[in-house]
């Protein structure tokens, strides 16, 4: 091109932003409002002050005292509302502290737009104090990491992160140098992001329904397996219809984040074992297993051998591409499960079969006599008698998880939630964010004493912002599941117990109401007092219940 050619209209000269006085920060607030992201969970530092100073009145700032809490709160808020949350983290140390929680958010499929502060662009090359090597810090856990090339690209990057968080359901990061906020916005260029609605196709393709109907049509003894990806009212309803038509038992994936089927339904067959031999044995009676909203199959401890017998065919339906792709399945449908299952329920022929025998439940243990210790089973039985059907039970109590599943079935969508990545420290913040999102839905988190200490700061947020979450801490004085797993290997625990820690005292130190309970009478009286307040309470409460460790781990 000749050097003398006049600049084109869209050439560099014409690209300079018009001097409107509007800043990147102003443009960002507009877009956050447009996307309903006006509640911000944050733990800020100096790299975020330029963004936060003089926050407009219509934004609600929620402080978490540790980044684990910030992302846990955001996750609970996102899951509770079914929409993205907005989080703000400080540069390296802030993002670094949040990585485990971001991994949990990813596996729990919680959409979160995470703004991460960075040093000033103009001297980043010198790696000044607080500059961060941020883009790879959270590894592969974010669904997207945006590093805007110019300050003016920040709002569009946030909008793309919003889309990514929704489409891929997970945390999407936007790294923003601190000087960007005061830079002049570029309102002259079209946005590099969809500014309107992104419509995601949800209906079932006829050929997908046809293939699955054929898969089930060839079966003599079908079974369903459901997982966290089926936890919504439409999918539950479709799965109930499908299971009833097929007279098929419905199993829940092991170690999933959420329940994919009403667990008080007569066809609910319980939780799949998390190792291959027991999984294979459980599924052996079935010649066709349709897995909905879960991978085939979610496992914990490795054991050799195949997951299923050769006589068991497996098909998967889900909208999480990675989960679907890694499934050990002969047929997979990548689509939102509700529409597929609804059509499938209409399409399959009703099967003539005897309903499966009701699953066996754990026997009740009588209340402790004089001098006998309180046990987790007493707490769970007492909760089971009292919790209303719409309660959300958030689980983070490893050794007692199997009994929590047994005694506290999910009876409504979102009736159960846990941190599916396996990292502890979600329950206190997660329950707080959930309750903020659903201020009238009863929320009880059942939390191990060890687990509570990975995220205890969240109780301050709940108390400060008057959030009515209730946590029941099972204070068995140690990492009991680890003790039990070590025993299985014929070993004794290398790690000490910590019975001297009083979680209630720590919570009170954070300004959060808390009670320590050590007798069955106190337990029953407290639950009789507290459970009726669960729908409407606006004060958190931590119940620190001293128990003897559960003797066996059934997981
Ligand atoms: C952040 C994090 N650190 C360590 C672990 C490993 N871990 C798994 S279970 C467990 C013990 C949990 O103790 P507690 O919450 O008291 O439950 P209990 O085993 O007593 O039921 C530990 C430390 C983990 N899962 N997450
Ligand atoms: Mg414990």
Q: Which atom of ligand 1 is nearest to the CA of 401?
A: 21
Question: CB of 555 closer than 6 A to ligand 1?
Answer: no
- Are residue 320 and residue 382 in the same domain, yes or no? no
- Provide the residue-wise pLDDT of the chain in tens; the chain has 555 residues: 334 344 444 444 444 545 678 999 999 999 999 999 999 999 999 999 999 999 999 999 999 999 999 999 999 999 999 999 999 999 999 999 999 999 999 999 999 999 999 999 999 999 999 999 999 999 999 999 999 999 999 999 999 999 999 999 999 999 999 999 999 999 999 999 999 999 998 888 999 999 999 999 999 999 999 999 999 999 999 999 999 999 999 999 999 999 999 999 999 999 999 999 999 999 999 999 999 999 999 999 999 999 999 999 999 999 999 999 999 999 999 999 999 999 999 999 999 999 999 999 999 999 999 999 999 999 999 999 999 999 999 999 999 999 999 999 999 999 999 999 999 999 999 999 999 999 999 999 999 999 999 999 999 999 999 999 999 999 999 999 999 999 999 999 999 999 999 999 999 999 999 999 999 999 999 999 999 999 999 999 999 999 999 999 988
- Are residue 405 and residue 318 in the same domain, yes or no? no
- Are residue 96 and residue 227 in the same domain, yes or no? no
- Are residue 258 and residue 154 in the same domain, yes or no? no
- Are residue 235 and residue 301 in the same domain, yes or no? yes
- Are residue 285 and residue 429 in the same domain, yes or no? no
Q: Decide if 18 is inside a domain.
A: no
- Ligand 2 centroid – CA 449 distance (Å): 5
How open is the CA angle 306-280-262, to the nearest 5 degrees?
130
Residues in Cβ contact with 518 at an 8 Å cutoff, skipping those fewer than 6 apart: 374, 545, 546
Q: Decide if 4 is inside a domain.
A: no
Annotate 493-515 with b (16+ C-beta within 10 A) or e (fewer). Answer: eeeebeeebbbbebbbebebebe
Question: CB of 553 closer than 6 A to ligand 1?
Answer: no
**Ligand number nearest to the C-alpha of 553:** 1
Sign of CA dihedral 159, 161, 164, 166: negative
- Are residue 164 and residue 224 in the same domain, yes or no? no
Q: Which residues span the domain enclosing 53?
A: 24-182
Please identify, among 308, 327, 347, the residue that sits at the C-terminal boundary of a domain. 347
Q: Using CA positions, which residue lies closest to atom 10 of ligand 1?
A: 479
Q: Decide if 156 is inside a domain.
A: yes
How open is the CA angle 87-101-426, to the nearest 5 degrees?
105
- Are residue 415 and residue 535 in the same domain, yes or no? yes
Q: Which atom of ligand 1 is nearest to the CA of 447?
A: 15
Give the separation between CA 348 and CA 251, rounded to whole angstroms: 20
Question: CB of 423 closer than 6 A to ligand 1?
Answer: yes
Least Cα distance to 109 among 310, 8, 257 occurs for 257
Q: Which atom of ligand 1 is nearest to the CA of 454?
A: 1
Peptide bond into 297 cis (omega under 30): yes
CATH code, domain with 238: 3.40.50.1220
- Which three-class secondary structure state does DSSP give residue 199? coil
CATH code, domain with 418: 3.40.50.970
Q: Decide if 163 is inside a domain.
A: yes
Q: CB atoms < 10 A from the CB of 222, how many? A: 24
Q: Give pLDDT, residue 5.
A: 43
Please identify, among 145, 166, 182, the residue that sits at the C-terminal boundary of a domain. 182
Annotate 356-377 with b (16+ C-beta within 10 A) or e (fewer). Answer: beeeeeeeeeebbeeeeebbbb
Please identify, among 135, 166, 182, the residue that sits at the C-terminal boundary of a domain. 182
Q: Decide if 479 is inside a domain.
A: yes
Contact 478, 496 (CB under 8 A): yes
- Are residue 286 and residue 320 in the same domain, yes or no? yes
- Are residue 43 and residue 157 in the same domain, yes or no? yes
- Are residue 455 and residue 495 in the same domain, yes or no? yes
Domain total of the chain:
3
Ligand 1 pocket test: which of 447, 479, 544 has the largest number of ligand atoms within 8 Å of its C-beta?
Answer: 479
Q: Decide if 363 is inside a domain.
A: no
pTM for this model (two decimals): 0.95
Q: Give pLDDT, residue 554.
A: 82
Q: Give pLDDT, residue 18.
A: 53
Q: Decide if 359 is inside a domain.
A: no
Q: Decide if 213 is inside a domain.
A: yes
- Ligand 1 centroid – CA 402 distance (Å): 15
Ligand 1 pocket test: which of 301, 401, 448, 473 has the largest number of ligand atoms within 8 Å of its C-beta?
Answer: 448
- Are residue 388 and residue 531 in the same domain, yes or no? yes
């Amino acid at each position: 091109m000749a050097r003398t050619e006049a600049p084109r209209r869209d050439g560099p000269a014409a690209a300079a932003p018009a001097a409107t006085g509007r800043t990147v920060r102003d443009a960002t607030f507009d877009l956050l409002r447009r996307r309903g992201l006006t509640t911000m969970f944050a733990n800020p530092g100096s790299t975020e002050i330029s963004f936060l100073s003089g926050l407009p009145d219509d934004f609600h700032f929620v402080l978490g005292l540790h980044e684990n809490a910030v992302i846990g709160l955001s996750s609970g808020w996102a899951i509770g509302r079914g929409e993205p949350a907005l989080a703000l983290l400080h540069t390296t140390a802030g993002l670094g502290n949040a990585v485990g929680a971001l991994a949990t958010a990813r596996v729990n499929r919680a959409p979160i737009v995470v703004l991460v502060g960075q040093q000033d662009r103009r001297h980043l090359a010198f790696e000044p104090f607080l500059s961060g090597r941020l883009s790879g810090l959270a590894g592969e856990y974010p669904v997207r990491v945006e590093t805007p090339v110019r300050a003016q690209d920040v709002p569009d990057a946030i909008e793309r992160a919003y889309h990514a968080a929704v489409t891929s359901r997970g945390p999407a990061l936007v790294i923003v140098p601190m000087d960007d906020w005061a830079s002049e916005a570029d309102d002259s260029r079209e946005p590099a992001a969809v500014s309107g609605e992104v419509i995601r196709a949800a209906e079932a393709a006829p050929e997908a329904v046809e293939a699955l109907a054929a898969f089930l049509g060839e079966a003599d003894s079908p079974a369903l397996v459901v997982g966290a990806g089926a936890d919504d009212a439409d999918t539950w309803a479709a799965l109930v219809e499908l299971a009833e038509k097929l007279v098929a038992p419905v199993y829940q994936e092991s170690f999933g984040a959420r329940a994919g089927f009403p667990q008080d339904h007569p066809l609910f067959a319980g939780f799949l074992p998390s190792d291959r031999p027991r999984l294979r044995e459980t599924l052996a009676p079935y010649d066709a297993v349709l897995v909905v909203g879960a991978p085939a199959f979610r496992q914990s401890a490795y054991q050799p051998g195949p997951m299923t017998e050769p006589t068991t065919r497996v098909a998967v339906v889900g909208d999480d591409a990675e989960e679907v792709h890694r499934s050990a399945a002969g047929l997979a449908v990548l689509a939102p499960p509700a529409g597929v299952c609804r059509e499938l329920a209409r399409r399959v022929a009703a099967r003539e079969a005897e309903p499966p025998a009701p699953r066996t439940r754990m026997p009740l243990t009588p209340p402790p006599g004089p001098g006998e210790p309180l046990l987790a089973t007493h707490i769970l039985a007492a909760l089971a008698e009292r919790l209303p059907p719409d309660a959300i039970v958030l689980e983070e109590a490893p050794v007692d998880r199997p009994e929590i599943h047994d005694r506290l079935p999910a009876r409504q969508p979102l009736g159960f939630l846990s941190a599916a990545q396996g990292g502890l420290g979600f329950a206190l913040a997660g329950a707080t964010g959930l309750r903020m999102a659903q201020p009238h839905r009863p929320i009880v988190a059942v939390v191990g004493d060890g687990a509570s200490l990975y995220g205890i700061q969240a109780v301050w947020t709940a108390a400060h912002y008057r959030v009515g979450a209730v946590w029941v801490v099972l204070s068995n004085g140690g990492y009991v599941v680890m003790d039990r797993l070590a025993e299985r290997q014929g070993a004794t625990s290398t790690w000490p117990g910590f019975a001297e820690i009083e979680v209630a005292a720590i919570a009170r130190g954070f300004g959060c109401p808390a009670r320590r309970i050590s007798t069955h009478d106190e337990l029953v009286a407290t639950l009789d007092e507290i459970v009726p307040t669960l729908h409407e309470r606006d004060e958190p409460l931590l119940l620190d219940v001293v128990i003897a460790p559960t003797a066996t781990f059934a997981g």
